[in-house]
Amino acid sequence: MNLHLSGHVAIVTGGSRGIGAAICRALAAEGADIALLYASNAEKAEETAAACAAYGVCAKAYACHVENEEEAAQTVRDILSAFGRIDILVNNAGITRDKLVNGMRASDFDDVIDVNLRGAFHMLRAVYPLMAKQRSGRILNISSVAGLSGNAGQVNYAASKAGLIGMTKSAAKELAARGVTCNAIAPGFISTDMTEKFAQDEKTLHAIPVRRMGSAEEVGALAAFLCSPQAAYITGEVIRIDGGMMM
């Protein structure tokens, strides 16, 4: 399917590795120019930018801690002046600090909420007026099945991912009349650095009806569709991509 993304500019947070990098590549393969944000892994970020540029699009990596409001706002201003427009925002940056509630410090809770939820808010705020004014845009938040069903050891993470779903639906309602959609993807177990420790875990695989972990590329393909003009009538939706784990 040709998703007609050439001339569109996409910001992907956490684009250096894993799911974010696969989303960058999938959007670039459909012709979108890519501004990818990362926290500290400049080498991986430049690798992903080069992989995107190989599709003949413009791709640039920006170091930006999304939990820092001023950094996020300044990075969006820098991207706007370098690329001239912003059509797509994918809030993908995420961290975990897994512990049972008994052992979870308030700082573990705050760190995860700050990056996963407040960071997404900072990015949303920065692109909101641009997209509302141009009367078009795509916002995609990477949530998790943990945000739908909860997960022992992830009170902080599940709260951040459930929060993203509320944010998605509220922004979708605010922006629908402006031609801007806002959706969420809720992945199950996807093979990345974040889930390395589960890769060979029989119990984990047994809980997944298709009996394997998903690939970042599979999430990338779904993300690219939701960011395309063809997905104009889908908004406020949360789409699970979990091999049937939560059905």
The footprint of ligand NAP (CB under 6 A) covers 13-14, 16-20, 37-41, 44, 64-67, 92-95, 115, 119, 142, 144, 187, 189-190, 192-195
Judge whether 189 and 198 are in contact, CB under 8 Å: yes
Torsions phi, psi for 60 (to 5 deg): -145, 140
Total residues belonging to the chain:
247
- Which lies closer to ligand NAP via its Cβ, residue 133 or residue 197? 197
- The number of helix segments (H) and strand segments (E) in the chain equals 9, 7
- Which lies closer to ligand NAP via its Cβ, residue 46 or residue 225? 46
Q: How far is the CB of 36 from ligand NAP (least distance, A)?
A: 8
- Residue 221: count other Cβ atoms within 10 Å of its Cβ: 19
237 vs 42: CA distance, rounded Å: 33
Q: How far is the CB of 189 from ligand NAP (least distance, A)?
A: 5
User: Could you list the active site residues?
Assistant: 157
Q: How far is the CB of 184 from ligand NAP (least distance, A)?
A: 10
- Which lies closer to ligand NAP via its Cβ, residue 99 or residue 178? 99
Q: Could you say which DSSP state residue 218 is in?
A: H
Residue 35 DSSP SS3:
strand
Q: What's the number of CA atoms in the CB half-sphere (13 Å) around residue 214?
A: 25
- Which lies closer to ligand NAP via its Cβ, residue 19 or residue 167? 19
